[in-house]
Structure 1
């Protein structure tokens, strides 16, 4: 019996303890919920509040003329606090709101949205993401007129959380130069990185509340610090010229399967870069802007450096253009190395000017070694005195460090002087070489190339930039005049005569250097370039083109780089009516002799007219509906004149009826002055034809 009583007593004690524990738990729950509920709710509210960063809107990047190169477009995440809506409004408008959500996002039915919102309201949820898809600013304005939402955030519960996305309207145009952002929204490369302090603005700070799902809801407290948006950066880039330069470069690197290509186009007087393109071969075989080689890649410049060698020779009074040099059979030995000319058998005895025009390595090296061999420091000093070989202090980060050796350099050898004279054993970027050529075109004034014109707040500049003068005069007027004559001679008679034309003069120099790969020069791998300016008589633009490691039979600068230069120059010539006559020889050719005034128009009509007049005429193989005339012996040949490619066509020489028909069909507005045929057009052929843009036609 004692054992039974003992067990029963223990059971009763355990039961009593359990009852007391349950009563204590119940009491504590009542105390927390009812007695101290307000206190704990306040503590929970406070612990879920935090000040968080409100990101500033990043500034825009503009091209010259106001075209947007990069902008931050506002997008919004749509959320909802259903607890803020009064019962009457919610009951009467929830169906309409659900229908509009379903119609807009097109992902769920209106019943789905109604159920989702109603359940959140019943659970007293304070934050409900209605859809993860971001909406744009116009969509946001539309949604603010929807039922319930139109009452705003405080009474309608609608929450729009802003998220900026960087957008480049012209996509790949000057993509690497404009730059990109990292995962944190900071500038990574290009203008975006170089002008990060201006573009980024200043972030603000606001009070946010943590809600279900770990999300943060803005409280919109009076203590919020509003962000300060970034400044706008205005560049010197001309969109039309950038488009022309990039497309011309793309065709060249694609044709020659090059490793990469570079084009930089600059205004001679201002130093403003109007186009800059860097196209590099990708793993898939296409081309993209992966690195700014124009600014950051050093190379042996090759024969473009011969201009600096000639400057040193002329400035020191060592030679004159009419002096002669015996280049022999095109080879010359310096110690244990042999320097050769491109032409087998050499050029024999030629003048100094011909040495430059033909780009004779033997001739240049002989001149430099003969006159500076005893004092190579004089040669180096004459070149460095110009500013060539010094950093430009360019506005973008990552400028390559230039190198022009001196006799005190530990890597100066007995063969350094002759090899340097023709563009080897130096390291220079394309932009640094362009600055030197631009100085020759600019009456000897070397200026710093610039890409950024101003920093603006709205439309008001807060800081402006102009090209700094790096050297007021790189050489005497006499030397400069001789350098210009030689550069013109290269195109008229020398290694770039393939880009000579009858409409305007180009002055420039070809360059072909063996590529240095893993410390060794590759005999069948070249760095082909062309640097120069135009029009030669009154230079407006300077330009450099580089094609790295072109494939095929013709791999020299004159073959692959100079034609890109000419294509860009031709386009500028066509657009700029101030630098050419109204009628080119090609357009007036059909007016000579017994031929009537027939220049351009519809093939069918012109053919019928010529047949009536008894004039022999026939189209070439590429002629289409619209043609232009040219004289071939005693007959007229019709060649293709217009293609519907979204670019401005060439309508000079056409009748007004035909010109208006073509131009208005591609969306241009036509303004007319004068009488007769089209004499001039304000938008040059090949410019992007933006719908609604006005083109002025001068008739005569």
Structure 2
């Protein structure tokens, strides 16, 4: 057919076609985790995994002899000295694409709602240090929309004053030195306390008055925490700062991605150390930490005192051959005594039950964590802009995941960590909890159940390939379909019938009968925001299947 094209009518020298090999990058998950996956250009400038592991990924160029022909084309000349190119290795990460998707979606929703500058989320396995998701979104230069342009969770630009999440460290030092008991009382007065020529203030106008130390942590009283640290370490600030090395926060982790920010802390005796330094450091100012460093501290408390090095790449392979493996690495075997760790766990649970994050408490599972709100320093002055955060872990009674959420410069009323970052933590945790059968074995209800008046099991809906696997195990006949299809299922006598459950790209899909995992996959890939309640399979949906899909659509699902 090509010979009939008009371009060939001009003869051998007058027309023809040249084929050129063009390489194009394929991203199976589009922009998901794009900054973490990274890039590298021809000048070997880049970021992320691709840049950090380029020596393994790039392979080796080959060499061959070519002859230049008339017209400028090249013809290979086969030679015994030709060197064949070698493919690079494959890098296997610890990321979970479902958790990554959930994290980015929840973060983007809050950034848009609060018109914030940027935000980050890290989700990590408590017992292993495996990072399951890293999301970084920043407002585009145009001021419209958000993109993943920098890794604030890891990089130097994300190194900032942590705010009240650092109070966990201050409580660790006080408890380890046996300086306090959680039920003793401290006077915070009207929420204003002077240290030399500087004034410390609590967030609550009028102050909290007399509190127990437990209540002071739960309410995040700046005055209480700074008074306690100044009283017990004011004459020996080096002892307080020495705990940074004990817990492993004084140096970078040598993280697998290039560009990790370095923790910054003032040192007693140096020219920039003042009488006010210790009180302000105790509540998360005059110091700098990356989100990943703060998360490692909270993960250590969840892990009963063992601090692990977070890691993102678990293996480098070629085919079935493993070139290099990475695993769990302990930074500090025990950052504090067992007694102190148990008390810190109690404090973090109390923050969610009674304190500044009680808005994310729920009956399904328990969360432990701490809110953080730090005023932004610009041109040497603290402003009314805030760096908000929430760091913690869940379920609190048997921790599996730790997480940190940071959102920079949110706008609007109540721009504090408990109001801005904590709800994002809960949204992500809710979905992880619903999808993780190990945490919540009842969340998916029964995929296969007995149909009334029939001994034949049935599946309501799902992915054809997965349902086929169930049927094969049970020895049940089923009408054929393509394995990639979404299907609805009906049991008829001694066999299963099913129908294709696909929808037009511009219409609302039918997700009834699906597990929450499958429903979220279908709906969120269409850009639909999902709210849900209950447990089990989807019983009903608020939007009619087949109706026109509008921008920024929200759907409510009832599970049962």
Under TM normalisation by the shorter chain, which class is it? 0.7 to 0.9
For residue 665 of structure 1, the aligned residue among 475, 493, 501 is 501
Partner of 1:578: 438
- Partner SS state of residue 189, structure 2: coil
CA apart distance, 1:493: 0.5
Equivalent positions of 1:218-617 (< 5 A) are: 218-284=76-142, 285-296=144-155, 297-522=158-383, 524-580=384-440, 582=442
Match of 1:181 among 20, 33, 40: 40
Query: How high is the TM-score relative to the length of structure 1?
Result: 0.64
SS of 2:84 mapped into structure 1: coil
Aligned partner of residue 580 in structure 1, secondary structure: coil
Deviates more, 1:202-211 or 1:572-581: 572-581
Alignment of 1:136-155 (within 5 A): none
TM-score, normalised with respect to structure 2: 0.79
The aligned counterpart of 1:686 is 520
Aligned partners of 1:518 and 1:561: how far apart in 2?
26
Which of the pair is proportionally richer in helix? 1
Question: 1 CA distance for matches of 2:491 and 2:258?
Answer: 51
User: For the residues of structure 2 that align with 1:554 and 1:213, how far apart are their CA atoms?
Assistant: 70
Which digits, 9 at most, give the CA deviation of each residue in 1:177-206, with x for residues without a partner? 10012145x461110100000000011111
Distance 1:459 1:520, change over 3 A: farther
Deviation string 1:109-132 (CA, Å, 9 cap, x unpaired) is x1312425x226xxxxxxx97246
Deviations 1:591-613 (A, max 9, x none): xxxxxxxxxx9xxxxxxxxxxxx
Q: CA deviation at 1:661?
A: 11
Q: Which of 104, 113, 117 is 2:8 aligned to?
A: 113
- In the alignment, does 2:25 pair up with 1:98? no
Call closer, same or farther: CA 1:304–1:212 in 2, change over 3 Å: farther
Higher relative contact order at CA 8 Å, sep ≥6: structure 1 or structure 2? 2
Matched residue SS, 1:551: coil
Shift of 1:664: 5.8
How many Å apart are 1:443 and its aligned residue?
1.0
Find the partner of 2:28 among 169, 173, 184.
169
SS in 1 for 2:272: coil
Q: Per-residue deviation at 1:164?
A: 3.0
The alpha-carbon distance between structure 1 residues 445 and 684, as it changes in their structure 2 partners (threshold 3 A), is farther
The count of aligned residue pairs is 476
CA distance in 2, matches of 1:491, 1:213: 75
Structure 2 CA distance for partners of 1:209 and 1:486, relative to 1, 3 Å: same
Separation of aligned partners in 1, 2:125 and 2:500: 33
Shift in Å, 1:681: 4.8
Give the conservation status (yes or no) of the 8 Å contact 2:435–2:443.
no
Aligned residues of 2:434 and 2:443 also touching (Cα < 8 A): no
| Maintained 8 Å contact 1:179/1:187 | no
Give the whole-Å Cα distance in 2 for the aligned partners of 1:313 and 1:656: 64
Which has the higher Rg, Structure 1 or Structure 2? 1
1:9 corresponds in structure 2 to none
Partner of residue 82, structure 1:
none
- Structure 1 distance, partners of 2:16, 2:417, is 60
**Residues 464-492 of structure 1: CA distance to partner in whole angstroms, max 9, x if unpaired?**
00131100000001000000000000000
Q: How does 1:194-213 map to 2 (within 5 A)?
A: 194-212=52-70
Shift of the 449–210 alpha-carbon distance from structure 1 to 2, 3 Å rule, reads same
| Structure 1 unmatched ranges of 5 or more | 1-95, 100-109, 121-127, 135-161, 585-600, 602-645, 668-676
What SS class does the counterpart of residue 204 from structure 1 fall into? coil
Distance 2:224 2:349 in 1: 19
SS of equivalent residue, structure 2 residue 247? coil
Distance (whole Å) between structure 2 residues aligned to residue 223 and residue 476 of structure 1: 65
Partner of 2:17: 130
Taking a change above 3 Å as real, the CA distance of residues 549 and 98 of structure 1, as seen in their structure-2 partners, is: same
| Root-mean-square deviation over aligned CA pairs | 3.1
